[in-house]
Structure 1
């Protein structure tokens, strides 16, 4: 699999390039934002500072549109 250089250097480029048509897992977010571990995603959720997620049974999922909106709000706040 080839990686787009712009996507590799900027996680927001991944969002501009398009998110998958499926709900995202915490691991997906950790990879997308190049976080040190998936525990960071769980900490964001606990502190209510990350993108809104929801439970499907015991699994945590994120709507790609909500993640995109969260990133846009963060960009506009900076």
Structure 2
């Protein structure tokens, strides 16, 4: 038998015997690069978020009348009118 010039074939199975391997091979895992940017909240939209707050509507009686009254509406109800 002439086995002096032959070497063992490379075996990639993790179950294969490692008696011929010189030592443990350190595997490096590559850093993962992300294809998409990180997600953000869709709302509020920039045009809504940066908008100035709506002014408060003030009801004043005419200057020539001395009348007092009670408005029985909340600000939200009054804004809908």
Shorter-normalised TM-score: what interval?
under 0.3
**TM-score between both structures, scaled by the size of structure 1:** 0.21
Higher relative contact order (CA 8 A, sep 6+): 1
Structure richer in strand, relative to its length: 1
- The alignment's TM-score, normalised by the length of structure 2, stands at 0.20
Task: Flag the structure with larger Rg.
Answer: 2
